[in-house]
Amino acid sequence: MSQIKDKVVLVTGGANGIGKLLGEKCLQEGARHLVIWDINPANLDKTVARFQSQGYQVSGYLVDVADVKDIENTAQRVLAEVGKVDILFNNAGIVVGKLFKDHTTRDIEKTFDINVLGVMHVTRNFLPAMLQYGSGHIVNIASASSLTPNPKMSVYASSKWAVMGWSESIRIELERENRELRVTTVCPGYIDTGMFAGTKAPLLTPILKPEYITDLIIRAVKKNKLFVMAPATVHLLPPLRGILPTRWFDFIGGKVFGIYKTMADFVGRPPQEAVPEKPTESVK
């Protein structure tokens, strides 16, 4: 069982949406110190100030997880100023909802820099301390799209497939250490945070409320669960994809459940809420 009480927790993309809720719930569970990484300075300052006003120990760092040097430099600051991170939530991510033919080079590279390389490099910088002390819990936010193809999500889905494969692989590596090193992979469907505004949920698959999915994630951390899949229909994807011929899955998943139509009217976050470019400095 992973304890949150008295632990140091770091959340990437932690000043808004799911990341902010995860940080708040960890503080409510008794986390000793919350470290928030985010690229939006206004959201970061507001969130840190709010939590600190409630008497919590919180530090905010302005970080671009698409920039390896920024990750490395800021990780060293966190380790020096706060100490070992006990629970790491790799939450930061972006989505570009377009047909593949409409993607720019920047769309593709930014998606992989944040969703895949950012997750790996953040973990790479905090894992040595976890290994040294023999304990730690890494939570990787993948997606239900890591389990199924979906039109207008080709680049996003492929980034999340990469996260899934990497997350499961390091889980096995760390389990072989025979110490208290845990990995949880989260595969949610669409969440009502604005990131997927305009999407239509598949049949029998409700759009998740942020409070609900974050409660599931916190519970999974405390119980050392390997996966969080929600809503319940997401659990059907691996067996159906594994058993059914591809054309049958296309018919059942795409036609009957409507998975392949969910992004037809996608609009995403308004431009003013989109991920900004690289910050000029990190602040505490």
**20: CATH:** 3.40.50.720
Q: Is the dihedral of CA 186, 192, 197, 198 positive or negative?
A: positive
Residue 284 lies in a domain: no
Neighbouring CB atoms inside 10 A of 246's CB total 9
pLDDT of residue 275: 62
Residue 282 lies in a domain: no
The mean per-residue pLDDT over the stretch 10-37 comes to 98
Q: Is residue 59's pLDDT more than 50?
A: yes
pLDDT of residue 83: 97
Rounded Cα distance, 230 and 163, in Å: 17
Residue 167 lies in a domain: yes
pLDDT of residue 280: 43
pLDDT tens for 186-235 read 999 999 999 999 999 999 899 999 999 999 999 999 999 999 999 999 99
Residue numbers of the domain that contains 157 = 8-273
Residue 145 lies in a domain: yes
The count of structural domains within the chain is 1
Residue 281 lies in a domain: no
Rounded Cα distance, 240 and 41, in Å: 43
Rounded Cα distance, 15 and 182, in Å: 24
Q: What angle do CA 239, 258, 234 make, to 5 degrees?
A: 35
Give yes or no for a contact between 78 and 3, defined as CB atoms under 8 angstroms apart. Answer: no
pLDDT tens for 35-46 read 999 999 999 999
Pairing mode, strands 8-12 and 33-38: parallel
Rounded Cα distance, 265 and 17, in Å: 22
pLDDT of residue 2: 79
Which residue among the candidates 56, 61, 133, 156 is catalytic per the annotation? 156
Q: Is residue 143's pLDDT more than 60?
A: yes
How large a percentage of the chain has pLDDT more than 70? 94
pLDDT of residue 97: 95
Q: Give whole-number Cα distances, 14 to 43, 99, 231, 234, in Å.
A: 9, 29, 23, 25
pLDDT of residue 269: 75
The mean per-residue pLDDT over the stretch 5-9 comes to 98
Catalytic (active site) residue 156: yes
3-class DSSP state of 225: coil
Q: What is the pTM of this model?
A: 0.94
Give the mean pLDDT of the chain.
94
Residue 280 lies in a domain: no
Q: What angle do CA 27, 121, 7 make, to 5 degrees?
A: 20
Residue 212 lies in a domain: yes
Q: Residue 92: name the closest of 65, 121, 62 by CA.
A: 65
The mean per-residue pLDDT over the stretch 122-136 comes to 98
pLDDT tens for 231-282 read 999 999 999 999 999 999 999 999 999 999 999 999 987 655 556 665 444 4
What does 96-165 look like in DSSP terms, one character per residue?
--S-GGG--HHHHHHHHIIIIIIHHHHHHHHHHHHHHHTEEEEEEE--GGGSS--TT-HHHHHHHHHHHH
Predicted confidence band at 82 (pLDDT cuts at 50, 70, 90)? Answer: very high
